[in-house]
Amino acid sequence: MTDSQMIREIKEGNTELYSELMRRYQRKILAFVYHMLKSAHLELLAEDLCSETFYKAFRSLHSFRELDASFSTWLYTIARNTVLSELRKQRNGNVPLEESGIIPVAPSEVAPEQAVLRSEKVGMVREAINNLPEKQRSALILREYDQLDYQEIANILGQSVSAVKSLKSQLEPYFYEPIYEHYEGMKSR
């Protein structure tokens, strides 16, 4: 059953189907909210805001028009707005992402020094993401984690496609250059 068929049935009163529809996106939206949040109690807030997103989506389902955007784009837009409004409420726009404390497990064939190098790079990338302005961070997460195309990202962020397509140049000062410089520094060590 496609999303639009499900939505039609839900609108006609088959509320139980909404649970099934959520199952298709719940992990992606939760991960997106998780990455967007920058609070000390990250996990708890991520779940709350994800629930809020799906609840809002259900309440406004009657106003959803497939001609304007796909359901996933619409959902991501609600999720982003919910997170932004929460961040605005808390007024702590630049608190870095909580360190998970989990060091990525390196494959067994990778030499220990390479594993250390990679772990260091991951740390750099995480820091770089934290330092990104909100729009660029959203674009990067949507692009790289959720694999959305530029048109969808543009719809979610309310930007033109060409603006989103120049993501690389937008990310350069915050993301790419610091990592690159760090990487070059490590190589010369």
CA atoms within 13 Å, Cβ hemisphere of 115:
10
Integer Cα distance of 64 and 71 in angstroms: 8
Window 130-169: contact mask with another protein (x via CB under 8 A) = ----------x--xxx---xx--------------xxxxx
Q: Considering the rule CB under 8 A, would residue 4 count as an interface residue with another protein?
A: no
Element (H, E) at 56: helix 42-59
Residues in the chain: 189
HEC assignment per residue over 77-96: HHHHHHHHHHHHHHCCCCCC
Window 41-70: contact mask with another protein (x via CB under 8 A) = --x--xx--xx--xx--x---x--------
Q: Which residues bind to another protein, rule: CB under 8 A? A: 11-13, 15-16, 18-19, 22-23, 26-27, 30-31, 34-35, 43, 46-47, 50-51, 54-55, 58, 62, 100, 102, 104, 118, 121-122, 124-126, 128-129, 140, 143-145, 149-150, 165-169, 175-176, 179-180, 183
